[in-house]
């Protein structure tokens, strides 16, 4: 058995691995960058090694530093987690060549599934159904456009080396193809160092179904049933569940058998996921489910599989990597109940889901379900990495019970001053179509306006905020502890929010909201949302930018500038593209006008609220 494990990752997955390793009596070594010097995974590990500056490219993505840290601490194994170098065959081989145990599949298996075009050809040969499309070597715009027309629009452009929705675009018409291809290739090159793409037919009513597989060095491969990951935004998974709703036993048997064949085709060892796209226009049917790709690592959503099977997948990884056989046979695995996971991110849905960074002054979860997190109250969300705060996981004996549990978890989130998507998650799982399992991958996009909560407080929230303030003044409640409203004194208080000031009596009726008083601010938490008010006598001192000022919404890198000084622009026209938190953010003109004071250049690093340019309104008449 492994005796000391180095975890080549950070955040919640590093903490998750540490928990299981400790339970197995395995010592752990964390690695960290400058930004993570005081991170939770560093505090929890038995040892920690500094591996470089904050940017991942100079720390977590440098394989030589990972191996050096393992050698320095006497670790005998390396677990890559997910993301970063988890599917890097070069690192896997280097770890093995250094005489260490790689907790993951063999390098040859990673290589076989690493490029989507080659993987699809391999799957065809193994008898696994694949989506119609183009995977040729000719990557010219002309050839790709011709193939797209032959497939028939809409088509999906996908980076062959991609993952996590990066380098992926749906194209509805030929006129949009060249622009989408350019953006897709640029994103793929930046994310994976490879700008080659493949094309796939866009599936009507698509559902994202994936199967958890596990192999060992003794030739055994089992599946641990399926997950449904159809609730996505911009190809990024948001809410996952297991099992998949509407899956009958015959279809489950067919898709899981195909997943096992896929794993055996690459002599797979360890945890992996076979991802399928299902045409659910007539429900889930075995003849309408197609292979998309294989993820040769542990998945972010693995807890839902653990919840319905009772298996610790990280323990299985460590045992199999140590040479042991898979602990259970296929016939010993079964589904028990239903599980759901929601990804809680530090982002502001009201501002286009822009990442929100900073110190977590308040971080509270309800005492229910399973919370996987890499932060504690007082920690910070860094601009350098994925802005995940936590994974909220619920289990129930039925799907309805799992939804109810996740509803309670998302509505009870209290995070401040960092913004989160908790309110958005709460609305998504409360949507009548979600409750009825009327799902496909377009679910969120089609309902986005209704799923994004209003950032402005309603009348009840105003009254609740006033009641919190007056209740505190009359009863002397500890202002920093937070409290639940169960009474309301009869006084007046003046509060401000978003430039509006009101004088209220604090007469709010019994409320499910919770509150937090900090200095001259009152924060109201309700259904996953956080509303902040200040006493009207306080000068907030907020800077209000000119309507035409184009401000950097977050720290990032300018990757494209489409305009020059004195250019005339139209409302909505793209001015430049900012890359931050692994995502591209287009900044557009707020109205017709002329570009002035252009201060952005491609390749430049900019700070939050930096003035990038000004759009001067066009003169009327």
Kindly list the catalytic residues. 297
Structure tokens at 387: 């802005």
Q: In what order do the strands lie in the sheet with 289-295?
A: 289-295, 270-279, 206-215, 221-233, 236-242, 338-345, 388-396, 370-373
Structure tokens at 483: 């409290």
DSSP 597: S
Structure tokens at 333: 């695995």
CA 492 distance to own-chain centroid: 43
Residue 118, burial from CB neighbour count under 10 angstroms (0-12, 13-18, 19+): middle
Q: Is 612 helix (H, G, I), strand (E, B) or coil?
A: strand
CA 197 distance to own-chain centroid: 23
The DSSP code sequence of 237-254 is EEEEEES-TT--HHHHHH
For 576-606, letters b (16+ CB in 10 Å) and e give: bbbbbbbbbbebebbeebbbeebebeeeeeb
Contact 305, 242 (CB under 8 A): yes
DSSP 281: B
Helix, strand, coil content of the chain in percent (nearest 5): 30, 30, 40
The DSSP code sequence of 561-596 is E---TT-EE-TT-EEEEEEETTEEEEEE-SSSEEEE
Q: Is 576 helix (H, G, I), strand (E, B) or coil?
A: strand
Of residues 222, 366, 319, the one with CA closest to residue 20: 319
Angle of the 177-192 helix axis to the 141-151 helix axis, nearest 10: 120
Contact 288, 247 (CB under 8 A): no
Of residues 150, 191, 133, 139, the one with CA closest to residue 167: 191
Separation CA 380–CA 119 (nearest Å): 39
What length is written for the chain?
621
Of residues 189, 265, 270, the one with CA closest to residue 224: 270
Under 8 Å CB-to-CB from 105, ≥6 apart: which residues?
A: 92, 215, 266, 268, 269, 270, 272, 296
Separation CA 101–CA 105 (nearest Å): 11
Separation CA 83–CA 342 (nearest Å): 18
23: enclosing H helix or E strand: helix 11-23
């Amino acid at each position: 058995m492994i005796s000391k494990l180095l975890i080549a990752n950070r955040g919640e997955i590093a903490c998750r691995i540490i928990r299981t390793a400790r339970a197995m009596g395995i010592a752990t070594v964390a690695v960290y960058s400058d930004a993570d010097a005081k991170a939770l995974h560093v505090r929890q590990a038995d040892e920690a090694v500094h591996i470089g500056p904050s940017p991942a490219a100079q720390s977590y993505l440098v394989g030589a530093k990972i191996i050096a840290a393992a050698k320095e601490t006497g670790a005998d194994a390396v677990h890559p987690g997910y993301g970063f170098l988890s599917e890097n065959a070069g690192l896997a081989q280097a770890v093995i060549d250094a005489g260490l145990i790689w907790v993951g599949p063999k390098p040859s298996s990673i290589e076989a599934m690493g490029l989507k075009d080659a993987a699809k050809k391999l799957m065809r040969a193994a008898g696994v159904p694949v989506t119609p499309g183009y995977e040729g070597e000719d990557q010219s715009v002309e050839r790709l456009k011709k193939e797209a027309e032959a497939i028939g629009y809409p088509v999906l452009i996908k980076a062959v080396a991609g993952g996590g929705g990066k380098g992926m675009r749906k194209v509805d018409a030929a006129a949009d193809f060249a622009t989408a291809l350019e953006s897709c290739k640029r994103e793929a090159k930046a994310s994976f160092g490879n700008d080659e793409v493949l094309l796939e037919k866009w599936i009507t009513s698509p559902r994202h179904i994936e199967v958890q597989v596990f192999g060992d060095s003794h030739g055994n491969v089992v599946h641990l049933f399926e997950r449904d990951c159809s609730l996505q935004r911009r190809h990024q998974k948001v809410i996952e569940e297991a099992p998949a709703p509407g899956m009958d036993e015959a279809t489950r048997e067919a898709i899981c058998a195909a997943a096992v064949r896929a794993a055996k085709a690459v002599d797979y060892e360890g945890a992996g996921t076979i991802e399928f796209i299902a045409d659910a226009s007539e429900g889930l049917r075995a003849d309408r489910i197609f292979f998309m790709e294989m993820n040769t690592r542990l998945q972010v959503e693995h807890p839902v599989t653990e919840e319905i099977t009772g298996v610790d997948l990280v323990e299985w990884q460590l045992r199999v990597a140590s040479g042991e056989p898979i602990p259970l046979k296929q016939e010993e695995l079964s589904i028990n109940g239903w599980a759901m996971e929601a990804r809680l991110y530090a982002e502001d849905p009201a501002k286009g889901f822009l990442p929100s960074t900073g110190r977590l002054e308040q971080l509270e979860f309800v005492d229910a379900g399973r919370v996987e997190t890499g932060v504690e109250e007082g920690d910070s969300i860094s601009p350098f990495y994925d802005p995940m705060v936590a994974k909220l996981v619920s289990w129930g004996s039925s799907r309805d019970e799992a939804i109810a549990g996740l509803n309670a978890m998302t509505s009870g989130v209290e995070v401040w001053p960092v913004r989160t998507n908790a309110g958005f998650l709460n609305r998504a799982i409360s949507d009548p179509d979600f409750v009825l399992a009327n799902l496909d991958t377009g679910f969120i996009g089609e309902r986005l306006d209704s799923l994004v909560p209003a950032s402005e407080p309603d009348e009840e929230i105003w009254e609740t905020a006033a009641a919190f303030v007056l209740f505190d003044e009359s009863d002397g409640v500890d202002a920093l502890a937070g409290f639940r409203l169960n009474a309301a004194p009869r006084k007046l208080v003046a509060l401000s929010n978003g430039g509006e000031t009101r004088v209220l009596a604090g007469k709010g009726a019994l409320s499910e909201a919770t509150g937090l008083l900090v200095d001259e601010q009152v924060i109201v938490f309700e259904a996953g949302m956080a509303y902040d008010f200040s006493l009207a006598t306080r000068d907030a001192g907020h800077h209000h930018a000119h309507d035409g000022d184009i401000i950097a919404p977050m720290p990032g890198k300018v990757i494209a500038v489409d305009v020059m000084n004195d250019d005339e622009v139209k409302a909505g026209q793209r001015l430049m593209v900012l890359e931050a938190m692994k995502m591209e953010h287009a900044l557009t003109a707020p109205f017709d006008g002329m570009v002035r004071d252009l201060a952005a250049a491609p390749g430049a690093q900019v700070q939050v609220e930096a003035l990038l340019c000004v759009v001067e309104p066009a003169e009327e008449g």
